[in-house]
Amino acid sequence: MRLDKYLKVSRLIKRRTIANEACDTGRISVNGKVQKASYDVKIGDVIGIRFGEKQVEAKVLSTKEPIRKDEAEELFEYL
């Protein structure tokens, strides 16, 4: 699954366009490297998101789809 789509489906970022813009500006990293929106997310990847001064890290647990809103938290765990 594409990185921008994963961020939207997992509810880490609210909209896919915002996730795409965050990737383009270098605020999203996977396993310590800045990645583009087209990066293919795999189970075990650690996604880092910078929101201004705040840094959020989440480990990918699943990439299954389709996913319901109440199941979105099962896709990742915060580190």
pLDDT in tens, 30-68: 999 999 999 999 999 999 999 889 999 999 999 888 888
What confidence score (pLDDT) does residue 71 get?
83
Q: In which band, very low, low, confident or very high, does the pLDDT at 14 lie, cut at 50, 70 and 90? A: very high
Helices (H), the chain: 3-9, 16-24
Q: Is the pLDDT reported for residue 74 higher than 90?
A: no
Domain encompassing residue 54: 3-78
Looking at the structure of the chain, the number of domains it has is: 1
Give the Cα separation of 27 and 62 in Å (integer).
22
Residue 22, domain CATH: 3.10.290.10
Residue type, 61: L
* Cα distances (angstroms) measured from residue 43 to each of 31, 53, 58, 59, 65: 12, 27, 11, 8, 13
Q: Is 32 helix (H, G, I), strand (E, B) or coil?
A: coil
Q: In which band, very low, low, confident or very high, does the pLDDT at 70 lie, cut at 50, 70 and 90? A: confident
* Residue (of 21, 63, 67) closest to 76 by Cα position: 63
Backbone angles phi, psi at 22, to 5 degrees: -65, -40
Q: What is the pTM of this model?
A: 0.91
